[in-house]
A and B are shown apart, each in its own frame.
Chain A
Amino acid sequence: MPDEIGVIVALLVMMAVIGIARPRFLNPINLLSLLGNTTFLGMLALGMVFLLAIREIDLSVGWMFNFSAVVVALLMVAGLDPWLAAIAGVAFGGCLGLVNGLIAVTLRLPAIIVTLGTYSMFQGLSLVVNRGRAIVPSDDGSSFFWVISYKLFGVLPVSALVFLLLAVAMHILLHRTRFGYRVQAVGSNPEAAAHAGIPTALVRLQTLVLMGAICGLSGTMYVGFRGAIDPNEGSDFVLVVIAAVIIGGTPLSGGHGTIIGAVIGMTIIQVISSGLIFFGIDATWSTFFTGAVTVLAVSLDRLIKYQRSRRAEKLRETSHG
């Protein structure tokens, strides 16, 4: 059974509980809408898995998302072809990640410290560029907005499909490539990784650039899907993204990461939010319930993992005995 079985069970239990009490929740349109809701933050969670796996945290993800989206939208407003603007947006996000990476590697600082500063820098620069106003590019005459907003079979947003494809690609990158192995090796034991000849600084730099590029991609997709970017969008992303990755089973101690877990973790967060509304839980109680159900979901995951490890131990004892 996969490592993510605990969170998968937690997710299924939640969906079953809500679905039994409120059958409308299991309506395919609602479930696809939930998937669509995970898209933009979910993409950021995929990048954050790599960072946690390498024992780093990037606090600036929300503003890299916002700044990239603002740049994309402004390029479109300036008359650049939206597809070219989209490519520029991803590259711009990568450049922001490069700024984080160069500072972290050159000054040998943890990314959490560096991004504590760049969090405000990127926010401030974005506000300077957008002048505190929403940027609304015209969607006339380009297939970009049509393609990003298009719903396959009338229900599945293209943006959600891109998210799922990106998740598959990132899973392969983490578990089937040299870069992925290096990330996990550096996160598991940086000194041992350095002794083994792994260029740890370069791996850190590459991981932070990857995070930035993903923020750029998410911001670009957001402009295409929503048709605008507001000055404060992204301000509340970072905690949700980190929570999704941790709920999904990626440890803060590094050395291991799970893309599938991050996708499930983000879905759990969306299911909790949706479930509270389906049950009509009052706004004043919803914050408490969000926290309580998150703790229950994580507890269920840990309990299942504990039972699995106990069972494995017993099997080992039996085979040795």
Chain B
Amino acid sequence: MTFRRTTSTAMLAAVALAFAGSGAFADDITIGFVAHAQGDPFVQQIQDGAQAAASDLGVKLVTAQQAGGAPEGQLKLVQNFVNSGAQGIATSVPGESMAKSLNDIVSGGVPLVQFNLLSKAVEAPYVGEKSVESGRVLGRMVLEKLGGESAKGTVVLGNCFPGFPVLENRAKGVEESLAKASGIKVLGPFDVKVSAVDNYNHWEQLYSANPDAVALIGLCAPDVTSLGKLNAAHGDKFVAGGYDMTELNLKAIKEGHAYVTIGQSAFVQGYLPVALLVNAIKGGKKLAPGFYNAGSQIVTADKVDMGNGLKPISFDEAQKLAADPKATAEYYKPWTETLTAQMLSSEPKPISAESE
């Protein structure tokens, strides 16, 4: 009996320890950070940017991520942060069904900033890329590689999250640029899934079905890596392009299996929401809905354009930054120093600018 009682007590203690593992924080301001696609290297880079902001601004950042991109799970995490007393929330918004409840949070006095994925129905600012424009840039780069407006052949387009407005906009931009070559036939966008294994399998099937495709273009972080592997396995026969400056994407480009990746300023997408929230909380100001352009990067093996007025870097340096959050934070210092209270308090662009 004594043994049983001891076991029960030990178990209760274990439950307590499991929950009480984290210590108390002394900072006055706590920001809740919620993201989709747990384990995705690009989303991790955004979170690293948010951590850098919290460290620079002396606030506590608490983070939560959910696997995949289902809105209900993400909304629960946001609500839990609000209930736990977070003074501000930064979250990606993977669905319209989050809008109503997020607006309740905003009207309840908790400032909120959207990043990476948005709902235009949410009455809060959004930090991200100009999605249609970045698609245009990607389409233009691939088209130039194929020979410009005289190019011919089939281009396959893949989308890892069909239905996400930002990704639909990217597809629109890519198709707009490719339409300039009348000999190009675009297939898709097809659902290529987000997990690395699923993503590669879907691209492999698409290529098997379209072996004469001259280019394969993805709209999400895992695509360039998958397409690079696929191209390597088939003798580098097609032009591969996509998004995000993850280590594996850059490796695929360096090895010559992929041509271009468009960065969407992961660091800025993490840093700026936290800076906006801290400025609003300290100043007691309401955040106006609107669009903050995080900027884009264009990366090929020959050239790295980092945008945001940052100094040019070599491809090797870009690879180092992708693998090192501290080095990234250091590299972005000239940009973070431009974030004055005045700049952070200025009105954002209208949300429609995101999809211009």
Which residues of chain A come closer than 8 Å to B38, judged between CB atoms?
283, 287
Most buried by A among B95, B121, B168: B95
Flag if B22 contacts A281 (CB, 8 Å).
yes
| Contact for A283 among B7, B65, B84, B95, CB less than 8 A | B65
B100 CB contact (under 8 Å) in A17, A226, A274: A226
Residues of A contacting B259 in the complex (Cβ-Cβ under 8 angstroms): none
Measured in the bound complex, the distance between the Cα atoms of B96 and A229 in whole Å is 7
**Interface presence of A29 (CB below 8 A):** yes
Within 8 A of B (CB), among A106-157: 127, 130, 132-134, 136, 149
Compute the total of residue contacts between A and B using a CB distance below 8 Å. 155
> A134-B163, A296-B11 known; A232 and B80 CB under 8 Å?
no
Within the complex, what minimum Cβ distance (angstroms) separates B263 from chain A?
23
Instruction: Find chain B residues with CB under 8 A from A13 CB.
Output: 12, 15
CB-CB under 8 A from A297, the residues of chain B are: 15
Q: Chain B: which residue is nearest A236 at the CB level?
A: B70
Task: Say which residue of A17, A127, A233, A278 sits within 8 Å of B70 (CB atoms).
Answer: A233
Whether A33 contacts B83 in the complex (CB less than 8 A), given A132-B162, A277-B62, A296-B15, comes out as yes
Q: Which residues from A are CB-within-8-Å of B76? A: 37, 270, 273
Contact: A228 with B95, CB < 8 Å? yes
A74 to chain B, nearest CB (A): 14
Given the known A-B contacts A232-B69, A296-B11, are A14 and B19 also in contact in the complex, defined by CB atoms under 8 Å? yes
Are B19 and A234 in contact, CB atoms less than 8 angstroms apart?
A: no
Known: A134-B163, A230-B95, A231-B162. A296 touches B60 (CB 8 A): no
Q: CB distance B95 to A17 under 8 Å?
A: no
Contact of B80 among A274, A296, A304 (CB under 8 A): A274
The residue in chain B whose Cβ has the minimal distance to the Cβ of A274 is B80
Total residues of chain B contacting the partner, CB 8 A: 53
Q: Does B21 contact A (CB under 8 A)?
A: yes
Q: Is the CB of B77 within 8 A of A134?
A: no
Interface presence of A280 (CB below 8 A): yes
* Interface assignment of A21: CB less than 8 Å from any CB of chain B: yes
| CB-CB contacts below 8 Å: B39-86 with A | 47, 60, 62-73, 76-77, 79-81, 83-85
> Can you list 13 pairs linking A and B with CB atoms under 8 Å apart?
A14-B19, A17-B19, A33-B83, A222-B72, A228-B99, A230-B70, A230-B95, A232-B68, A276-B19, A278-B84, A303-B8, A303-B11, A307-B4
Chain A interfacial positions (CB closer than 8 Å to B): 13-14, 17-18, 21-22, 24-25, 27, 29-30, 33, 37, 40, 127, 130, 132-134, 136, 149, 222, 226-236, 270, 273-283, 285-287, 289, 292-293, 296-297, 299-300, 303-304, 307
Binding site for A on B (CB under 8 A): 4, 7-8, 11-12, 14-16, 18-22, 25, 30, 32, 35, 38, 47, 60, 62-73, 76-77, 79-81, 83-85, 94-101, 121, 161-163, 168
| The 4 nearest A-B residue pairs measured at CB | A230-B95, A134-B96, A231-B163, A132-B162
